[in-house]
Amino acid sequence: MNRNCLFGLLLLIIAGAGKAQKLPLLETGSVKPMPAEWIDKDTNHKIIHLVSGEGDNQSFYFHNNPFLRANDGKGEKMIFYRKVNSDMQLFSVDLKSHKTDQITSKKRVSGEIVATKGREVYYQCGDSVFATGIENHKTRLIYVFTDSIRGKITTLNADETLLAGALSSPEEAEIYKQFPEKSQYFNRIYDAKLRRTLFTIPAQGGELKKIYSEKAWLNHIQFSPVTPYLLMFCHEGPWHKVDRIWTVNIKGGEPVLMHKRTMEGEIAGHEFFSPDGKRIWFDLQMPRSKTFFLSGSDLATGEEKRYEMTRNEWSIHFTVSPDFKLFAGDGGDPGQVARAQDGMWIYLFYPEGDHFRSERLVNMKHHGYKLEPNVHFSPDGKWIIFRANFEGHTDIYAVEIEKSNN
């Protein structure tokens, strides 16, 4: 074979290798199973399976931090749930190698609390609270609720010294038992006006301390990511009937309302702290299902910053990027409060003055929104991580924010 033929053959091999590496351009969820990686044909963004393996996988609720920084040669990780032998267990996934590791192996594991400094996960199994090392898997028993107390932990404070949650009543448990669907129990629990009590427990173990009590459905409990003594909670119930978002100093003092409704039918909810702890962001509609905003209340001044969006851009949950420059949302189907006819997308939002400019990242038309996608920015701010069921089971995906050149 002469030199020119060899050179031509080499070019063909290189071209063929390039084509082999080209990702498929597909409608997301249009085939089952989807490939490990693909380009969403409607958005031109790359999507990957973040985790793989048998069983359903679920990422965390939108305001619960799932990430663990790299340390001592160990890679950056995300904590998630995987169903193992009918029980949900906590796992970690290395965000670079995608290697997974099972952390827990107990019955009825619940709770989504990552201690980034202590490199542990806190969770609950029935009446018992545990902490397990994410890398070494060493487990500590933190607290056992007595038979007369129904308590659930939900959050860990900024210096990782205290867990917090709510105590509920036997009457509330009976409502859940008789009416297990949200559409059945939601108004019943709100109307019952049963007592709930906020509490803390030392993260190293110790006595339960009651912080605040009220005959109201106290819920959505979150510690500030920066201020160890600041706790946020909500008055749960139909959003147009409640002034929902409150904070309380666990050292003492009365709760502080973070947003007062000003018109009939106004709603505010799905609140979350900004990573720097300076604002509480929330879905604001003035009134319900008419005009849509993401609003943020300044904790120091009470001033609100609002970004308006269209009906289709409204999302069940929102989140903010690590550098505070971008936001993301998980969209919604026509059955959600916005009644959007074209809202089934994972969105990226660019703040521009008093409104959002949106970019669609993932077409979610094959996703069933009874499972909420719950978006998270990756720690490097380059990906949006979400859960979805468009393959017929629940799995965890990541979409690249930068458009593909594929």
Q: Could you read off the pLDDT of 269-317 as tens digits, one per residue?
A: 999 999 999 999 999 999 999 999 999 999 999 999 999 999 999 999 9
Q: Categorize the per-residue pLDDT at 55 as very low, low, confident or very high, splitting at 50, 70 and 90.
A: low
pLDDT at position 18 over 90: no
The residues facing 198 across adjacent strands are: 166, 212
Predicted local confidence at residue 179, as pLDDT: 95
pLDDT at site 52: 74
Q: Answer for the pair 67, 379: CB distance below 8 angstroms, yes or no.
A: yes
Over its C-alpha atoms, the chain yields an Rg (Å, rounded) of: 23
pLDDT at 62: 96
Tell me the C-alpha to C-alpha distance, in Å, between residue 301 and each of 232, 252, 279, 304.
Answer: 16, 20, 10, 9
Write the CB contacts of 305 (distance below 8 Å, at least 6 apart in sequence).
279, 295, 296, 298
Among positive and negative, which fits the CA dihedral 355, 360, 363, 369? negative
* φ, ψ (nearest 5 deg) of residue 260: -100, 125
Strands (E), 139-205: 139-144, 150-156, 162-168, 196-202
Kindly tell me if the per-residue pLDDT of 13 is higher than 70. Answer: no
pLDDT tens for residues 120-155? 999 999 999 999 999 999 999 999 998 777 899 999
Q: How far apart are CA 252 and CA 225, in angstroms?
A: 19
Residue 74, C-beta contacts closer than 8 angstroms, at least 6 positions apart: 135
**Among candidate residues 98, 96, 93, the one with its CA nearest the CA of residue 58:** 93
Give the model's pLDDT for residue 386.
98
User: Are the C-beta atoms of residues 373 and 396 closer than 8 Å to each other?
Assistant: no
Mean pLDDT, residues 339-351: 98
Percent of residues in the chain assigned helix, strand, coil, to nearest 5: 10, 40, 50
Asked whether the predicted pLDDT for residue 3 surpasses 70, the reply is no
pTM of this prediction?
0.92
The whole-angstrom separation of Cα 300 and Cα 59 is: 32
CB 363 within 8 A of CB 43: yes
Give me 255's structure tokens.
Answer: 């709760």
Predicted local distance difference test score (pLDDT) of residue 73 = 65
